[in-house]
Structure 1
Amino acid sequence: MHYAELRRAREELTGPGGQFEIVEQEILGHRLRTYKNAPPSVREVWLASAVFAERTYLVYEDERLTYAQSHAQVTAVAAWLHDQGVRPGDRVAIAMRNYPEWMLIYWASACIGAAAVGMNAWWTSEEMAYGLRDAAPTVLFADAERIERWRAASDVPPMTVVAVRTPASDGTVPWETVIAHPGAMPEVAVDPDSDACIFYTSGTTGFPKGAQLTHRGCVANLMNMLYAGASSALAVERATGVAPPADPPIPVTLITTPLFHVTANNCGAYACTALGGAMVLMYKWDAGEALRLIEREGVTNMSGVPTMAREVINHPSFATTDTSSLTGLAGGGAQVPPDLVQKIEDGVTTARPGTGYGMTETCGIITSISGDFFVDKPDSAGPYMPNFEVKCVDDDGNTLPQGEAGELWVKGSSVIRGYINRPEATAASITDGWLHTGDVARIDEEGFIFIVDRKKDIIIRGGENVSCTEVEALLYRMPEIAECCVFGVPDQRLGEEIAAAIVLKTGASLSEDAVRDHVAAHVAKHKVPRYVRFFAEPLPRNASGKFLRRDLRDAYAAETTEA
């Protein structure tokens, strides 16, 4: 394999004078690795894309916007926000499906130094109210479904609400008014270490935490994405003598996951925009519709959670659909099963498999792997990106020898500032600039990272993080329940599904459906347990009284496998 060439490519690209030269700088009180040639803020990333004026930028169903049209609307939104008094450090919330307006609002907010708050579109009114109280945005842009939830929410702070793709009423502002606003792009100096966006991530403490992704961090992730492609291509060229096309196709990216996550936004949208590509948006995931769009739009890249790639390959229409435009079929948000790597390699003639491992807390990817390297190491998440230092530690935070498994800690310019309103959670997650990923990993001699387990009480269902603690807290609201433990069990389609082990109080009775209905009344449906099991005896605990979540998970997985 081409590992020696990959090392040399990394040294050449990131060394002095290299396109991706790495330097150390004092950032937010820490000496961190960062890119010398990175744009200073997200504003510059967007403004630079104006050169692609007549190219198609956003595609949604039968709607198409060029870069020129998109820039005109982004400028109007930015000018309107500025005239509403929105200033650097303020927050602008976006609560809607993956409509073109999502990206236009995002770029407009970044250009005036306001943080875009990505509201989870699956949240219930109760969850939405929590997010709005926590983030306290000045303006909320929402579609019809989210406006209904906003109206039903209680104790929500006052804010201006813009109605997108739905008639304005009861004091909301029409989207058409916003994009018709006159004026040039406001001249605003954006601090690289200020918040570019706030994305909510489920944590072990239950309530979602608003992660503060900085301009520097988001731009560094873009540089990581570009570096990953450049280093891999250079290594393969050096090893095989086969150069990449001199005139590569303009990227056409199918966005399959929600834009309120870093997978679609920071990885998919940023890279596509910086390269002047087209973003093809979907109303909701459907493998047949994805195939239709791949053929119609000449999609070059599709990335989503691993199950999406599997569903595309297994779809009855796959064999009769023209997928020859595809050059990459990737999966992230959860580990790609090794068998799927080979299925992509064998099943799509023109596309190579790829994946990235990352977190909201790192503004996107920590590692990236594709092509020959992924086929050779299908159980790896790939080499870590050059703006990171990485180490595996034991339970006391001591660095472990190379190759030994421990919790992965990372440090670099794309680590978040912290969590809004949560200094304790920030302190628990970041030590002297080192982010505790909560994942147990090992690092091989080539710098490739292998995720072997998860330390924190998080279930990853279809790429969505679900806090065990949050679901347990909801279950304990039911007076019939004496004790409960929520855990993830393997699922072929979604990676993991949610299971709940429950012990009822003496004399109480409860059905599985009643448990699910109770949870569904308070939180988004992806957090509702699929499996509910009642125990007559107390649940197993360790010496300190904590439930043995892993033992329950393993026992349940063994039972379902035997069944």
Structure 2
Amino acid sequence: MIEEYAAAWDELTAPGAQFAMSEIEVRGVPIRVFDAAPPSMRFVWELAALHGDKDYIVFEDERLTYAEADARVKALAHHLVDVHGVGSGDRVAVAMRNYPEWVLSYWAIVSIGAACVGMNAWWTSDEMKYGLADSRPKVLIADDERVERVLPILDDLRNGDGGAPLHLISVRYDGDLPDDAARWNDVIDPSAAPATLPDATIDPDDDACIFYTSGTTGFPKGAQLTHRGSVHNLMDLGFMAAVSAAAAAKAGVPSKAPDLTPDGEAKQLAFMAPTPLFHVTANNCLLHPATLSGAKLVLMYKWDAARAIELIEREGVTNFSGVPTMSREMLLHPDWETRDTSTLAGLGGGGAPLQPDLVDKIDKNLKGGASTGYGLTETHGIVTANSGSLYVSKPASCGRVVPCLDYKLIDDAGNEVSGPGARGELCVRGAVVIKGYLNREEATADAIQDGWFRTGDIAEIDDDQFVFIVDRAKDMVLRGGENVYCSEVEAAIYEHDAVAEAAVFGVPDDRLGEIVGVAIVLVDGHTLDQDGLTEFLSEKLAKFKIPERVWILNEPLPRNASGKFLKRELRDSLAG
């Protein structure tokens, strides 16, 4: 089917076709843009609002239609503009689990030309303080758990160097608040919402969102996601689905997708979002396409395989996109055999590669099939995608690079490498590469050179242009879809007086792909165990960053000639 795939690719991107492209220059870099791309994410929401009385958000037993959501988006948008003076170039932070208010806040913020700062809901108070001080939002919209974490640091944020008012809007919180804080239900009156959004001027290269990525220097970096990049990721997702379908039709491969018109009437698509909306995986690669297509978005309070299967049956979920461990847990759960999951078009997602055996299990267990995507926060979402029959034939590949990106492999010296069996760091350039890192000119210059973003992942590219990720150049652990930079964890560990040497590395794990491990050498006369380390780090790091495997060693850690710890050697000897 490779030939049919290549032919469909060329047809869909030909001049005048649905995904035709033109070349423009942005910040001095030539890039390809889709001719039919919407001008901004505000325009995407205005299109989506036309879906009216269709179900939009389902959260447990709560339900909102597109029209009801639109009224709330408009009410919040006017509140932010009229009461807090938020406008183009400003920022509004959102810190909460996957509540409906996350979605509504996002659309209101981007529709007035402000940037939504999506804060990691697992962050501790100290981590929240760093992110808020770095991004300096005018308003923070936070749920009960995050309100409890931010109240002790609110005065420091307002009164510190360059402090700002930082107005607080609480969500689902019944506790006491400062006099100048507000509650969601007091500021959002959908019955009195204006008929239109506030006026706003939005440039395609304005920030739409700031998502924080774990930092190699010990501090997270705020990636600046633009309207252009978000729109083009949305169109890349549409293209990759269209090219797969067109190739299958050309090859005469019968569709395995469920029949969504069993009674002659089209059924509504339903997307389940089991991963956090403060990541591009759920926000850009699931929320965006679900919203534009008029689908129902099914949210969960927290991940639970049994509850997910129950909701798939109840809501007729058609699209599931999570991390691979979620797919595996559902397929192995006893409820999988007793619940009706026939509406599922397939199981897919990103954040970690699907193991080849899981691709086969999904293919055999569903009318649809498996799909995957490789991408990063710094690319607004996907760089590649693979699905259907091609995925089954190339289960170790994450697919071809999306059409709006140029790509190359480079060696350690920065020279381009190519040819059979060539391996190098994957670099990409195009419309979905972020503008940069907020307040981090040096980090931006290191990561993006002449428009080329260095992914930090080592790849091979076969003769069919399919990408295989074979290793990581960055010192990073990929734990269940969450990036954990080893240097950040090491920096926190070294604050403990008992630690003389510490090397953090990934430990293979069947469920999460990798978990965080650390080898420690103690200062003479000091003691420390795993419980003590966990307690020490609990106020410094989000829970997923804290090492789950700890080795206390009596000998100095092995180093190479330049003095760097030999982490792979440590991992192989300690974790087997």
Quick one: distance in 2 between partners of 1:317 and 1:278? 23
* Cα separation, 2, equivalents of 1:544 and 1:153: 41
- Tell which deviates more after alignment, 502-511 or 421-430: 502-511
Partner residue of 2:162? Answer: none
Q: Offset at 1:260?
A: 0.2
Structure 2 match to 1:265: 283
Greater alpha carbon shift after TM alignment, 322-331 vs 212-221: 322-331
Distance 1:342 1:246 in 2: 24
Match of 1:185 in 2: 197
Percent identity over the alignment is 53
Deviations 1:468-521 (A, max 9, x none): 011101111111111110000110000101111001112222122111211112
| Cα deviation 1:181-238 (Å, max 9, x = unaligned) | 6433112121100100000111222211100000000000000110010000000001
Q: Which moved more, 1:286-295 or 1:528-537?
A: 528-537
Post-superposition Cα deviations, 1:17-45, rounded to whole Å, max 9, x if no partner, equal: 11011221111221012211100110111
Aligned to 2:161: none
Question: Partner of 2:167 in structure 1?
Answer: 160
Question: 2:119 maps to what in 1?
Answer: 119
What is the TM-score of this pair, normalised by structure 1?
A: 0.97
d(CA) in 1 for partners of 2:529 and 2:97? 34
Q: 3-state SS of the aligned residue for 2:417? A: coil
Question: Could you tell me how far 1:166 is from its partner in structure 2?
Answer: 1.6
Paired position in structure 1 for 2:147 = 147
Aligned pairs for 1:218-367 (under 5 A) are 218-240=230-252, 242=254, 249-348=267-366, 350-367=367-384
The aligned counterpart of 1:386 is 403
Give the residue type in structure 2 aligned to 1:166.
Y
Alpha-carbon distance between aligned partners in 1 of 2:500 and 2:322, rounded to the nearest angstrom: 39
Give CA deviations for 1:36-83 in whole Å, capped at 9, x if unaligned.
Answer: 110011011110012210100000111110001111111111111111
* 1:41 and 2:40 aligned: yes
Q: Which residue of 1 aligns with 2:130?
A: 130
Q: Equivalent residue for 1:85?
A: 85
CA distance, structure 1, for counterparts of residue 187 and residue 237 of structure 2: 33
Residue 368 in structure 1 maps to residue 378 in structure 2: no
Residues 306 and 334 in structure 1, CA contact (< 8 A), matched pair in contact too: yes
Structure 2 equivalent of residue 395 of structure 1 = 412
Shift in Å, 1:410: 0.5
Q: Is the 8 A contact 1:356 1:381 kept in 2?
A: yes
Segments of structure 2 that go 5 or more residues without pairing to the other structure are: 159-164
> Contact 1:34/1:220 (CA < 8 Å) preserved in 2?
yes
Give, in whole Å, the separation in 2 of the partners of 1:422 and 1:293. Answer: 42
Name the stretch that deviates more: 185-194 or 547-556: 547-556
2:495 & 2:183 partners in 1: Cα distance? 40
Q: Which runs of 5+ in 1 are unaligned?
A: 559-563
Query: Measured at CA, do residues 451 and 249 of structure 1 come closer, stay the same or move farther in structure 2, by a change above 3 Å?
Result: farther
2:467 to 429, 449, 452: 449
Q: How far apart are residue 246 of structure 1 and its match? A: 9.6
SS at match of 2:340: coil
| Mapped partners of 1:528, 1:56: distance in 2 | 39
Aligned to 1:561: none
Structure 1 Cα separation of the partners of residues 2 and 215 of structure 2: 36
CA contact (8 A) 1:500 1:529 kept: yes
Tell me the distance in 2 between the aligned counterparts of 1:414 and 1:359: 10
Q: How does 1:475-514 map to 2 (within 5 A)?
A: 475-514=493-532
Q: Is the 8 A contact 1:124 1:149 kept in 2?
A: yes
- Asked whether the 8 Å contact 1:42–1:219 carries over to 2, the reply is yes
Amino acid of the structure 2 residue aligned with 1:141: I
Residue 278 of structure 1 aligns with an amino acid whose one-letter code is K
Q: Distance in 2 between the 1:269 and 1:443 partners?
A: 30
- Structure 2 residue 182 is the aligned partner of structure 1 residue 169: no
Preserved CA contact (<8 Å) 1:203 1:458: no
Shift of residue 460, structure 1, vs aligned partner:
0.8
Query: What letter corresponds to residue 455 of structure 2 in structure 1?
Result: T
| Secondary structure of the corresponding residue to residue 317 of structure 1 | helix
* Cα shift at 1:107: 0.5
Partner-residue secondary structure (3-state), 2:360? helix
Partners in 2 of 1:179 and 1:228 — Cα distance? 38
Q: Distance in 1 between matches of 2:567 and 2:249?
A: 47
1:107 aligns with 2:107: yes
Q: Aligned equivalents of 2:37 and 2:54: distance in 1?
A: 24
Aligned residues: 556
1:222-278 Cα offsets, whole Å, 9 max, x none, are 001100100000000011164787966432011000000000000000011111000
Q: Deviations over 1:74-105 (max 9, x none)?
A: 11111111112001010000001100110111
SS in 1 for 2:416: coil
Q: For 1:376 and 1:153, how far apart are their aligned partners in 2?
A: 53
Q: Which amino acid aligns with 2:572?
A: D
Q: Take 2:253 and 2:387, find their aligned partners in 1: how far apart are those partners? A: 18
Query: Conserved in 2, the CA contact under 8 Å of 1:28 and 1:193?
Result: no
RMSD after superposition: 1.4
The 3-state SS of whatever aligns with 1:17 is coil
What CA distance in whole angstroms lies between the structure 1 residues aligned with 2:406 and 2:250?
26
